[in-house]
Chains A and B, each alone.
Chain A
Amino acid sequence: MQILKAAMAGTLESSDVQVTLEPHEGENQVEVQSSVLAQYGRQIKDCVNDTLSSLDVNGVKVTVVDKGALECTIKARVQCAAYRAAGVESGYPWGGAIK
């Protein structure tokens, strides 16, 4: 998927996560801020990377501000930010690239 611009999804409410995605030279880079970083930092990063790879997104910098989100929420926000950044607004591949 072609990333055209920077985009953000999610909020800073409890149980949510705010994901910002922007074009970036080189490999994907994921930066996580979370109050449970020591415990779940690795898991959050893996979840973001897995979601990006399902969507075939390369060359982005992702900033994640976690407020205690479940994995399904992290996925939802990364997917939303990616499609916003790609300028796609309909015809989403539910069950395909969006797993």
Chain B
Amino acid sequence: MTQEKRLRRLRRSMMFLNAQRPALLKDAYIYKPDSLLLDLEDAVAENQKDAARFSLYNALKTVDYRGVERIVRINGLDTPHWQEDIRVAVAGGADGIRIAKCETAQDVQTVVKHIEMAEEEFGAEKGFTLVMAALESPLGILNAFDICKACPERMLGVAISGGDYRKSMQASYNPGGIEMLGGRANMLIAARAAGVQCFDTVFTDVDDEEGFRQEVIQNKQMGFDGKSLISPKQIAIVHEIFTPSEKEIRTAERIVRAVREQAAQGIGVFTLDGKMLDIAFVPGAERTIELAKASGVYEGDL
């Protein structure tokens, strides 16, 4: 896979796993998330940070994850743990590193500098380890664009972390997410302007399937690429909602074909099924087809 493809790969579902728990590490790929977030941070108790690293290293080196992306969430830059976390992630050959509580472009650059040192130390391919940033505070959201642009050759995208963000905004969870609207929208605008991916926060009530579904539908409507998850049972719902439906794919194909045919005859704007169409509709339709291809559901020939 080229670096460009690695940066832009399909990431509808990114599932957190506690790196300290072997039962979770060994067969997580069975549920087929697009990415795994192997957690050294909040899921791991303070006195087990070392155990989690040994467990992570051996899992990365021995378990065959069958193409599922492996991203390691490292501890925050305000802890004594993050440097050793970076060393083990790079030595183990993780696909990327998720920076917790990222607030500035400098935070990204600090992590990248240590990744470079680790790639050198362990003889890893230079530039292999991607980064993503979790924005968990108002400052992180305000600096989102700079963070997204901080390291174009490694930055895959940004994710918002609802728990800490809500706390720092003096708000709490509401169905519909009014308290998250500004943060989500600002981060999305920054990510799109910078050309990187954008992921929503976890939904913590694993038994509230309907509430989860509504949130994922809103995520898709807002334009997110995917969502951080905490349970395998959330994966299928995200894939169902983020994967284009048969009808969406057919419509996208008709748009692309019609615009091409009309353009060949010198016509720029026209109507299809009573709706105005022009060249501006093509990128959206092409994205639907690309997403369908990446999700393995496309059977057409475009």
Contact = CB atoms under 8 A, between A and B. Distances in A.
A68 B102 CA distance: 38
A73 B57 contact: no
Contact of B55 (A14, A76, A83, A95): A76
A75 B51 CA distance: 11
A74 to B, nearest CB: 9
B10 to A, nearest CB: 28
Contact of A16 (B23, B50, B83): B23
A70 B24 CA distance: 12
A95 B23 contact: no
Nearest to B57: A94
Interface in B197-246: none
Contact of B53 (A69, A73, A77, A92): A92
A30 B135 CA distance: 47
Interface of B: 21-23, 26, 50-51, 53-55, 57-59, 61-63, 83-84, 87-88, 91-92, 122
B92 A94 contact: yes
Contact of A75 (B26, B58, B83): B58
A98 B58 CA distance: 9
A98 B53 CA distance: 11
A98 B122 CA distance: 12
Contacts of B63: 72
A70 B22 contact: yes
A73 B87 contact: no
A92 B61 contact: no
Interface string A77-99: 10110011000011110110010
A15 interface: yes
Given A73-B58, A91-B84, 7 more contacts: A15-B22, A16-B23, A72-B59, A72-B62, A76-B58, A89-B50, A90-B83
Contacts of A77: 51, 54-55
Nearest to A84: B50
Interface residues of A, number: 25
What 6 pairs across the A-B complex have the smallest Cβ distances? A94-B91, A15-B23, A72-B58, A72-B62, A73-B22, A76-B54
Interface in A14-65: 14-16
Interface of A: 9-10, 13-16, 69-73, 75-77, 79-80, 83-84, 89-92, 94-95, 98
Contacts of B122: 94-95
Contact of B51 (A9, A13, A69, A90): A9
Contacts of B62: 70-72
A72 B92 CA distance: 13
B54 A79 contact: yes
A13 B57 contact: no
A81 to B, nearest CB: 9
Contacts of B23: 13-16
A80 B26 contact: no
A88 to B, nearest CB: 9
A15 B20 CA distance: 12
B54 A70 contact: no
A76 B63 CA distance: 13
A80 B49 CA distance: 10
Nearest to A75: B58
A80 B88 contact: no
Contact of A72 (B50, B61, B88): B61
Given A72-B62, A84-B50, A16 B87 contact: no
Contacts of A72: 26, 58-59, 61-63
A70 B26 contact: yes
Contacts of A73: 22, 26, 55, 58
